[in-house]
């Protein structure tokens, strides 16, 4: 017995005559089985998944940053990208060549350039890693003569905008305070990866001291009033 799926199906006109669709030469496809329809749906879903993955990869792609590329600023003083320790090791100087900012684009270079260009402050000592910017032997409220700034140990005073926070462990790290909030401070700095801004939580101890609670911040430096 002939399988009806192999037949060519015709239409009938008002007289009952069979009319082949689109002419005799038009090939009429066999009706698809249920399994074939399932395969079509699965293929369509796989195709759409591949397309979505390609689109996501295309739109999520971010060009690689290069050393010295600007990634932010504070008070019109730009922050530049450093793609690794000592990778941009040329020293940066003020426009007149009289003041050394430091090695490009380390954290120390930014705070020195910020204090010089934005606050008109010169630090007497041009040498040292970030950890050298804090002297544990100095009591809070006294002058750090190497930087000509007032030094405070962490928790002895509430930070202010433009203060330099110092992490004096290993090579250390320094950053500029950009905003002071009840639960923390916002800072900006260099050599911290692709992003130059950070929020650091604080905690108030039983004596009401405002303690910066991230990676054991040593303290801060501030321009004397």
pLDDT, tens digit, 9 for 90 and up, residues 17-57 = 666 654 445 455 566 676 677 667 667 778 777 878 767 76
4 DSSP 8-state letter = G
pTM of the predicted model over 0.75: no
| Sequence-ordered list of residues with C-beta below 8 angstroms from that of 197, at least 6 positions apart, any chain | 72, 178, 186, 187, 188
Range in 9-13, 180-184, 216-220 with the lowest mean pLDDT: 9-13
pLDDT at 14: 62
Q: In percent, how much of the chain has pLDDT > 90?
A: 57
CA distance 7 to 120: 93
**pLDDT over 90 (residue 91):** yes
pLDDT at 29: 59
Range in 2-11, 151-160, 202-211 with the lowest mean pLDDT: 2-11
pLDDT at 104: 93
The tokens for 111 are: 């705070």
Residue pointed to by tokens 């320790």? 85
| Sequence-ordered list of residues with C-beta below 8 angstroms from that of 82, at least 6 positions apart, any chain | 67, 88, 104, 105, 106, 190, 191
pLDDT at 145: 97
Residue pointed to by tokens 């990676």? 215
Helices (H), 118-214: none
Dihedral pair phi/psi, residue 203, rounded to 5°: -135, 145
**pLDDT over 80 (residue 186):** yes
| Sequence-ordered list of residues with C-beta below 8 angstroms from that of 110, at least 6 positions apart, any chain | 77, 79, 80, 176, 188, 189, 190
The tokens for 152 are: 């405070």
Mean pLDDT of 162-183: 95
């Amino acid at each position: 017995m002939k399988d009806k799926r192999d037949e060519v199906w015709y239409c009938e006109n008002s007289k009952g005559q069979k009319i082949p669709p689109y002419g005799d030469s038009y090939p009429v496809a066999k009706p698809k089985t249920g399994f074939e329809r399932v395969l079509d749906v699965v293929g369509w879903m796989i195709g759409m998944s591949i397309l979505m993955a390609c689109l996501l990869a295309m739109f999520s792609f971010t060009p690689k940053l290069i050393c010295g590329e600007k990634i932010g600023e504070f008070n019109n003083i730009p922050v530049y990208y450093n793609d690794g320790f000592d990778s941009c090791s040329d020293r940066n100087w003020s426009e007149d060549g009289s003041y050394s900012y430091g090695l490009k684009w380390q954290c120390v270079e930014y705070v020195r350039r910020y204090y010089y260009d934005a606050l008109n402050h010169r630090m007497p000592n041009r040498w040292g890693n970030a950890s050298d910017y804090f002297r544990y032997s100095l009591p809070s409220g006294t002058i750090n003569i190497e930087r000509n700034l007032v030094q405070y140990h962490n928790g002895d005073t509430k930070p202010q905008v433009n203060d330099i926070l110092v992490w004096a462990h290993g090579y250390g790290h320094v950053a500029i305070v950009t905003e002071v909030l009840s639960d923390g401070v916002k800072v900006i700095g260099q050599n911290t990866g692709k992003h130059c801004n950070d929020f650091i939580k604080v905690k108030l101890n039983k004596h009401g001291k405002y303690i910066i609670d991230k990676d054991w911040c040593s303290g801060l430096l501030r321009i004397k009033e």
